[in-house]
Amino acid sequence: MFAGLNRNLGDHLGDVYSQKKMYNKAIEQWEKAVELGAEDRKIIEEKIKNAGRK
């Protein structure tokens, strides 16, 4: 139960960091979410790839 919560939290926290232009922290959270088995792995990997390119 908590692993699912943590991987979703990491994805969303990464989004918040990205919006605040804190890209290194965002990438760190997204990578943790992927490591924990996030369901949206491909989407998160795209976020990592495109971090800071807006």
- 26 φψ region: left (φ > 0), alpha (ψ -120 to 50), beta (else): alpha
The pLDDT of residue 2 is above 60:
no
pLDDT in tens, 9-32: 899 999 999 999 999 999 999 999
pLDDT on residue 4: 55
Beta-carbon contacts of residue 34 (< 8 Å; ≥ 6 apart): 41, 44, 45, 48
Locate the domains of the chain by residue range.
2-50
The pLDDT of residue 45 is above 60:
yes
CA 25 to chain centre: 9
* Greater pLDDT, 37 or 14: 14
Amino acid at 28: E
The band of 1, judged by pLDDT with boundaries at 50, 70 and 90, is very low
